[in-house]
């Protein structure tokens, strides 16, 4: 990608899109097209056609999507399949019509069969039934991959795709009910710490008053209420990738020369997509312990084993991405530290 090339980031305000914009800017790309949904609704075929005709982007990152958790996927399956198919149909087709040099489509690891062997390799696509709760979303993502592959085969385009594992980082959704496991843990531990500190302050004041009356020393390192409840047994294993690492991986693929990318990603029937993860996983208990340490909460963890655990393990095989010359660089602890700092400055401080 040339530093002054016209680059369209679709979905630039989202978790993934904003990380891509940070990477592009820090690497010196200056000619970015970043329309918001209010300026360009990507589900509208005519508007997308007009946008491409006017702006003629040379490179496209397709990170716009209707995204949500299990509840949203279950409640709005029609929206998940329709909106995602519409966005990707419009952007991928216009990219072909206007000669886009390279397009990167963002998929998700939910494309793999529910019972896929672990770690999951790219070849496991379409080898079994999907997880029923997000099947419409996963089918749209699979259609996106197959669209890239079909356009490459028929028209010689260079459309590739990445399947990131669970992402986290600055700009994440920390909603108390519908956020992913890591931001949910960060929020819960932070709130528990704030309560703990308030209680200690109060007890500290009281203990001083009591000391002045009784002269008995009181210490308050912890109280019985200082605990955080975590759903499930704590034993399921999850893989997590820091969002700026994800953006680095995407940039790596967009910056690789055609000679390097073609043998691996543009040689049908080899898949035109690649897993993007760390290839390492941790238990929910280990994850919670790391968040507790980063946040600085000194109470205990309580696992509520009456609540469902979900899939026991979901880990990507990342050897293909390693062969393409990229490996993640941000450790889980450092990533959680950065994310917690962002949360404190941007969410907790504003009372969100």
Ligand X SMILES: NC(=O)c1ccc[n+]([C@@H]2O[C@H](COP(=O)([O-])OP(=O)(O)OC[C@H]3O[C@@H](n4cnc5c(N)ncnc54)[C@H](OP(=O)(O)O)[C@@H]3O)[C@@H](O)[C@H]2O)c1
Q: In the numeric block, which tokens belong to residue 247?
A: 């953006």
Task: Say whether 137 is catalytic.
Answer: yes
What is the C-alpha R_g of the chain?
23
Minimum distance of ligand X from residue 240's CB (angstroms)? 9
CA distance linking residue 200 with residue 216, whole number of Å: 17
Task: Looking at 176-324, list the stretches that DSSP marks H as alpha helix, in order from N- to C-terminal side.
Answer: 181-214, 243-255, 258-265, 284-295, 319-323
CA angle 333, 334, 338 (to 5 degrees): 120
CA distance linking residue 158 with residue 160, whole number of Å: 6
Minimum distance of ligand X from residue 16's CB (angstroms)? 3
Residues found near ligand X in the complex (CB under 6 A): 11, 13-17, 37, 41-43, 63-67, 87, 106, 108, 164, 166-167
Looking at beta carbons only, is 39 or 221 nearer to ligand X? 39
Minimum distance of ligand X from residue 263's CB (angstroms)? 25
- Is residue 75 a contact partner of residue 134, using CB atoms and an 8 Å limit? no
Give the H/E segment covering residue 342: helix 332-346
Minimum distance of ligand X from residue 115's CB (angstroms)? 20
Looking at beta carbons only, is 184 or 192 nearer to ligand X? 184
Minimum distance of ligand X from residue 200's CB (angstroms)? 35
Looking at beta carbons only, is 42 or 265 nearer to ligand X? 42
Looking at beta carbons only, is 111 or 265 nearer to ligand X? 111
Looking at beta carbons only, is 43 or 114 nearer to ligand X? 43
**Which residues 6+ apart lie within 8 Å of 48 measured at CB?**
40, 42, 90, 91, 94
Comparing CA positions, the residue from 171, 147, 167 lying closest to residue 159 is 147
- Is residue 28 a contact partner of residue 36, using CB atoms and an 8 Å limit? no
Calculated CA dihedral for residues 185, 186, 189, 193, nearest 10 degrees: -170
Give the chain's largest Cα–Cα span.
87
Looking at beta carbons only, is 119 or 164 nearer to ligand X? 164
Which of the residues 29, 112, 137, 151 is marked catalytic?
A: 137
At 24, phi and psi to the nearest 5?
-60, -45
* Count of Cβ atoms closer than 10 Å to residue 149 Cβ: 22
CA distance linking residue 335 with residue 239, whole number of Å: 13
Residue nearest to ligand X (CB): 14
Minimum distance of ligand X from residue 212's CB (angstroms)? 54
Residue 182 CA to its chain's centroid (Å): 11
Enumerate the active-site residues: 137
């Amino acid at each position: 990608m040339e530093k002054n090339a016209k680059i369209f980031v679709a979905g630039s305000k989202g978790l993934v899109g904003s990380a891509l914009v940070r990477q592009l800017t820090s690497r010196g790309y200056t000619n970015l097209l970043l329309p918001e949904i209010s300026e360009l609704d990507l589900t509208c075929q005519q508007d997308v056609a007009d946008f491409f005709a006017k702006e003629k982007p040379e490179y496209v990152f397709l990170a716009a999507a209707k995204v949500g958790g299990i509840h949203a996927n279950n409640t709005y399956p029609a929206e998940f399949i329709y909106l995602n198919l519409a966005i990707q149909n419009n952007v991928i087709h216009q990219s072909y019509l206007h000669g886009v040099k390279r397009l990167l489509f963002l998929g998700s690891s939910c494309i793999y069969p529910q019972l896929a062997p672990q770690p999951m390799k790219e070849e496991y696509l379409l080898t079994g039934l999907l997880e029923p709760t997000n099947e419409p979303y996963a089918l749209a993502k699979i259609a996106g991959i197959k669209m890239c592959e079909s356009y490459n085969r028929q028209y010689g385009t260079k459309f590739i795709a990445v399947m990131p594992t669970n992402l986290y980082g600055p700009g994440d959704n920390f909603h108390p009910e519908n956020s992913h496991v890591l931001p949910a843990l960060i929020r819960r531990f932070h709130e528990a710490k704030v309560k703990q500190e308030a209680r200690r302050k109060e007890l500290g004041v009281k203990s001083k008053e009591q000391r002045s009356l009784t002269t008995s020393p009181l210490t308050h390192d912890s109280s019985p209420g200082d605990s955080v409840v975590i759903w499930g047994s704590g034993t399921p294993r999850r893989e997590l990738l820091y969002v700026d690492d994800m953006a680095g991986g995407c940039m790596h693929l967009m910056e690789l020369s055609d000679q390097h990318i073609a043998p691996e990603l543009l040689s049908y029937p080899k898949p035109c997509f690649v897993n993007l993860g760390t290839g390492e996983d941790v238990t929910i208990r280990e994850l919670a312990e790391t968040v507790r340490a980063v946040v600085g909460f000194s109470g205990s963890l309580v696992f509520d084993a009456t609540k469902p655990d979900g899939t026991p393990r979901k880990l990507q095989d990342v050897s293909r991405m390693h062969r393409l010359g990229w490996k993640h660089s941000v450790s889980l602890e450092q990533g959680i530290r950065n994310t917690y700092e962002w949360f404190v400055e941007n969410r907790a401080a504003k009372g969100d």
